[in-house]
Amino acid sequence: MANYKSWPHKEASGLQRRYRTQPDAPVVFQTGFGPSGLPHIGTFAEVARTTWVRRAFEYLTGWQTRLVAFSDDMDGLRKVPLNMPQKEMLAEHLGKPLCHIPDPFGCCESYSAHMNNKLREFLNAYGFDYELQSSQQAYTRGDFNAGLSILLQKVDDVLAIILPTLREDKRADWSPFMPICENCGRIYTTRVTGYHPENNTVDYVCDKPVGDMPGCGHHGTASVLNGHAKVGWKVDWALRWFSYDVGYEMYGKDLIESAKLSGKITRVMGKQPPNGFFYELFLDEEGKKISKSVGKGLTVDTWTGYAPLESLLYFLFQNPKKAKRLFWGMVPRTVDDYLAELRRYPTIADEKKPDTAVWHIFNRGQSVPTFNTSINFSLINNLVSGLGTDDPALVVEFLERYDPTAADYRDTIGDLVSKSLNYYRDFILPNKTYRPATDTEKTWFTALKELVAAYDGDDERELQTLPFDVARQFGVEPKQIFSAFYEVLLGQERGPRFGTFAKLVGKEKTLSLLEKAAE
């Protein structure tokens, strides 16, 4: 077995040890989606990371695999998400399964159908290979019937696992089964009062409130088979693992204890739980967990509007067990890190490439683009900001003048320029504030203009010394010269190194900017 060090290969090696010999059926990898809200970057990350482990596993073993994206659309609606339309209508359906609630957007047959369609669009747009499995379809089709019957027979064992983990006031009413009330159609308002494993039924009463929504008071008996009931979260996870022989599943750090309990229930049912891997959660700029119901945090669509998709994948690949904040300011730096990795990739020995992020991002290194130029995203952003232009052709022209090798990578450079212009229009331009130069600063700019005009080369390091010469000439701190340059010429508090900027935009443009500032 190859001794690769990247985390997907370590996970794949552990999974290979689990099976030891090739199983008769494809190994099942599973991810979960809660369709109470729109899919977000956490959903994307889980599918991407699971895909990397899956592909590494295939690479190591040559075995067949499947990736199942499971949507728990039989789950009930506990509260109305803040970012949904028709909140009053949704409030009337609190407690009902998501698949039985009307679509608040008015385009699909149900609330969860809308979310499932969005998940398909979301995953298809990025070329993931997966099978979407609806909980409603699985329950009604009978996929879980054998497991549900076993759970009912072993309900005391399941209670013995779960009840000690609950608050004492929750223990009396807790049941692994959640029947759908045949009178009001709700699932979160029902309370199981009796178990009948001999005929796969439970007795229930609909008397538990959900928010301000009371139960209807109906008493009844429901089959636990074919979608008349579902099981609660921890038990539902175990039921899937048992029924689909899941070999591998990831989960967020907040679900570690749930995974342990689900594993115990799976063993009670007679099978081994899958190999697992927990990852840290994504945080917004304030350090809070991203919520689907609130809709905060950087989305996949917004990232890919301002930076290449591959840079997002590179970001997700790094240290999945470390919490990551998602906000606009970290995007350009991530793109630069990704481009640096692209430049480095051809220099890595073939046997070491499977340990790189690029190898995993580009499907086991099968389609890694070449990129061997000094241009990076920060440089492009600086140029766009300095030129103040909306013309991508002009930006590319300046870049190729700065580094002629850029012409060899026009597709990649063109995409970066397009993303940079989007970023500039939406985040930089609205915050630009050009202030007029003081009389003292005008003398600095005049002196700097004379030095630039007299300089015949284009060496960044030599150009960088010119503002320092001006600072010495006038007896001021160099940082005063640089601050004036950024605030007067570029309309921002910070900016690129002067030498880099002057070479990037060229002597003519630099002199024009300095002359204008000195007027």
Tens-place pLDDT, residues 302-314? 899 999 999 999 9
Q: Domain ranges in the chain?
A: 300-430, 432-518
Q: Can you give the pLDDT at residue 116?
A: 95
Q: Tell me the average pLDDT across 223-246.
A: 96
CATH topology of domain 432-518: Arc Repressor Mutant, subunit A (1.10.10)
Nearest to 411 by CA among 455, 351, 460, 371: 371
472-505 per-position pLDDT tens digit: 999 999 999 999 998 998 888 877 889 988 988 8
Residue pair 517/488 in contact by the 8 Å Cβ criterion:
yes
Q: Can you give the pLDDT at residue 429?
A: 85
- How many angstroms separate the CA atoms of 33 and 68, rounded? 11
Q: Can you give the pLDDT at residue 118?
A: 92
Neighbours of 368 (CB within 10 A): 19
Q: Can you give the pLDDT at residue 293?
A: 46
Helix (H, G, I), strand (E, B) or coil at 206: strand
Res 290 pLDDT > 70: no
Q: Tell me the average pLDDT across 338-361.
A: 96
Residue pair 274/246 in contact by the 8 Å Cβ criterion:
yes
DSSP string for 494-507: ----HHHHHHHHHH
Nearest to 94 by CA among 109, 75, 107: 75
Residue pair 336/382 in contact by the 8 Å Cβ criterion:
no
Q: pLDDT tier at 2 (50, 70, 90 boundaries)?
A: low
Q: Which residue reads 């067949």 in tokens?
A: 64
371-422 per-position pLDDT tens digit: 999 999 999 988 888 787 889 999 999 899 889 999 999 999 999 999 999 9
For residue 285, which phi and psi values (nearest 5 degrees)?
-65, -25
- How many angstroms separate the CA atoms of 170 and 157, rounded? 18
Higher per-residue confidence, 234 vs 320: 320
Q: In the sheet where 201-206 sits, what is the strand order?
A: 190-196, 201-206, 219-223
Residue pair 336/351 in contact by the 8 Å Cβ criterion:
no
Residue pair 361/314 in contact by the 8 Å Cβ criterion:
yes
DSSP string for 400-455: HHH-GGGGGGHHHHHHHHHHHHHHIIIIIGGG----PPPHHHHHHHHHHHHHHHH-
Res 430 pLDDT > 50: yes
- Residue 485 is classified by DSSP as I
Ramachandran sector of residue 459 (left: φ over 0; alpha: ψ -120 to 50; beta: rest):
beta
Question: What percent of the chain lies above the pLDDT cut of 70?
Answer: 97
Residues 6+ apart with CB under 8 A from 334: 307, 311, 312, 314, 315
Structure tokens, 406: 């850029």
98-143 per-position pLDDT tens digit: 999 999 999 999 999 999 999 999 899 889 999 999 999 999 999 9
265-277 per-position pLDDT tens digit: 999 999 999 999 9
Q: Can you give the pLDDT at residue 295?
A: 46
Helix (H, G, I), strand (E, B) or coil at 107: coil
Higher per-residue confidence, 45 vs 282: 45
Structure tokens, 218: 């109906």
Q: Tell me the average pLDDT across 352-378.
A: 95
432-464 per-position pLDDT tens digit: 888 999 999 999 999 999 999 999 998 999 999
The length of the chain is 519
- Residue 489 is classified by DSSP as I
Q: Can you give the pLDDT at residue 294?
A: 46
Locate the DSSP E strands across 176-255: 177-179, 190-196, 201-206, 219-223, 229-231, 246-252
Structure tokens, 479: 């940082």
Q: Can you give the pLDDT at residue 291?
A: 57
170-226 per-position pLDDT tens digit: 999 999 999 999 999 999 999 999 999 999 999 999 999 988 888 999 999 999 999
Q: Can you give the pLDDT at residue 446?
A: 95
Nearest to 249 by CA among 431, 47, 64: 47
Residue pair 36/292 in contact by the 8 Å Cβ criterion:
yes
Q: Can you give the pLDDT at residue 231?
A: 97
Structure tokens, 209: 């409130």
Q: Can you give the pLDDT at residue 330?
A: 85
Q: Can you give the pLDDT at residue 514?
A: 93
Res 296 pLDDT > 60: no
Q: pLDDT tier at 147 (50, 70, 90 boundaries)?
A: very high
